[in-house]
A and B are shown apart, each in its own frame.
Chain A
Amino acid sequence: MSVLVKIPTQLRAAAGGEAEASVEGATVQEVLDGLFQRHEELRVRLADDDGSLRRFVNVYVAGEDIRFLDGLATPVSDGAEVTILPAVAGG
């Protein structure tokens, strides 16, 4: 299954300048692992030592925050869009 991952500007330098990456995976976890394999540098920036996402990292599947879904176990379908964004305060 191929999923489109949207990479935030702050991470593009660590992702070879790419704004998007097409990655295989059936869950968010698998997709992120695929992304980290391609760009090892992204792993340390987005994930803590225990593998969980850092607390200021928000991940969305088709626009929905994965914390409202199944977290990293959230399934992704073929052609889905996974967006990584920083948390931003103040509204």
Chain B
Amino acid sequence: MAASHLQCRECHTEYPLEALYVCERCFGPLEVAYSRPGVELSVAEWRRRIQAGPQNIWRYADFLPAAAPPGPSGRLNSRAGLPAGCTPLIRADRLAARLGLKEVWVKNDAANPTHSFKDRVVSVAATRARELGFETIACASTGNLANSVAAHGAALGMDSYVFIPSDLEEQKVLATGVYGTKLVGVKGNYDDVNRLCTELCAERDWAFVNINLRPYYAEGSKTLAFEIAEQLGWELPDRCVVPVASGSLFTKIAKGFEEWRELGLLEGELPRMNGAQADGCSPVASAFAEGHDICRPVKPSTIAKSLAIGNPADGPYALDLARRTGGSVDAVSDEEIRAGIRLLAETTGVFTETAGGVTTAVLAKLAERGEIDPEERVVLVITGEGLKTLDAVRGSFEMHTIEPTVADFEAGVPEPLTV
């Protein structure tokens, strides 16, 4: 497999593998297309080839759009930059038991260099940007992408410009500026930032990872699917619950599974795909509930700022995917998001940010509605780190402050109940 060209998702017009993202004929989004390998590999040969790769997303280089990917394990390049991926897949029996399910796995993508799945997409986009000769990377971000672009700029020695809504969580602002990027806080919401950057993209010779490099960026999310399947022993899960902002991650995880099914690397049906949004920004969930195939944009108001995209460009594809696989797109309240963060933390030891609270809360909701067969193998895709959205848990528990004496401890701290 090698990336061969870009192709319009709507009218299939072909374009070269350059910094292009929109079809000039119909304005549809461009996607990377691949040619089949000249030599047919057997399933066993494919698996060996992948397993011989480095412990990061470049083990899937055959399915990613870089002309000269960093190379096999052991070669210096494969570990240069800021290698993302190969995050843990955790068997979450205690979470499953709480929800009345039997087999739940947590894909913990907070375990990436800048603590979110965005390192996957940025690694691919930044690598391609360098190949195309760009010296500066940039992005419009709801926060996590900001961290990742700033860090990749530092790691690769590229200049970077990062545009964020000026009211983002302090943790996300600090974890961006520290890398020495040019950080721009825009007075407005993400959709305003995105519009500004789309305009700027035409005027500057920069690689905006999620605008003119978007086709390459989007491919990075497929590596989540590849890892999940590989970690499950080359098997597909029955269901994936995934957070949805623009809908890119959600749809590309399915694309990853599909590509491997076509090659014969995986057998069985595509998993049911369940998208997760916050009530305060649920254009895709609303369209799903109302049976529409396009999304009406909204003005976001939710604690899940990383998912606060009111005008989701991949919304139509996300709706189609949810329907086609027998999944859904659901939304949960800020209260449920906070409870979701606690539920995941208390049953798995994984502390996720608000986006993970959304995803966990949607899983809980589906389980409660009885939509999940207890025999199903479910994967909960946790995409970001709890330390980046501390406000969401502030005040949710009590700390016992005492004098350093045994007497004060015994008077002030309740003993755990013995069973």
Contact = CB atoms under 8 A, between A and B. Distances in A.
A9 interface: yes
Contacts of A91: 140-142, 145, 190, 194, 210, 245-246, 309
Interface in B214-246: 214, 217-218, 245-246
B119 interface: no
Contacts of A6: 199
B81 interface: no
A63 B195 contact: yes
A26 interface: no
B358 interface: no
Contacts of B198: 8, 85-86, 88
A11 B23 CA distance: 10
Contacts of A38: none
A45 B313 contact: no
B25 interface: yes
B27 A90 contact: no
B297 A65 contact: yes
Contacts of B194: 88, 91
A86 B29 CA distance: 8
Interface string A74-87: 00000000010111
Contact of A88 (B192, B211, B299): B211
Contact of B248 (A10, A63, A85, A89): A89
Interface in B275-312: 294, 296-297, 299, 309, 311-312
Interface string A1-27: 000001011110110000000000000
Contacts of B178: none
Contact of A10 (B22, B140, B141, B142): B22
Contact of A85 (B195, B214, B299): B195
Given A68-B299, A91-B145, A91-B194, A86 B22 contact: yes
A26 to B, nearest CB: 24
B88 interface: no
Contacts of A88: 21, 194, 198, 210-211, 214, 313
B18 to A, nearest CB: 13
Contacts of B214: 88-90
Contacts of B309: 91
B202 A90 contact: no
B27 A45 contact: yes
A4 B190 CA distance: 25
Contacts of A67: 296-297
B41 interface: no
A9 B211 CA distance: 13
Interface in B8-28: 10, 21-28
Interface residues of A, number: 27
B177 interface: no
Contacts of B314: 89-90
B191 interface: yes
Given A45-B24, A67-B296, A89 B316 contact: no
A58 interface: yes
B199 A85 contact: yes
A8 B202 contact: yes
A46 interface: yes
Contacts of A54: 26-28
Contact of B27 (A9, A57, A60, A89): A57
Given A65-B191, A67-B296, A68-B299, A87 B26 contact: no
A90 B195 contact: no
A64 to B, nearest CB: 9
Contacts of A9: 202
A24 to B, nearest CB: 24
B246 A90 contact: yes
Interface of A: 6, 8-11, 13-14, 45-46, 54-58, 60, 63, 65, 67-68, 83, 85-91
16 contacts: A9-B202, A11-B24, A45-B27, A54-B28, A56-B313, A68-B299, A83-B195, A86-B198, A88-B313, A89-B210, A89-B248, A89-B312, A90-B121, A90-B313, A91-B141, A91-B190
A-B pairs with lowest CB-CB distance, top 6: A89-B313, A89-B246, A90-B210, A87-B313, A86-B22, A89-B314
Given A88-B194, A90-B218, 7 more contacts: A9-B202, A45-B26, A45-B27, A85-B199, A86-B198, A89-B29, A89-B314
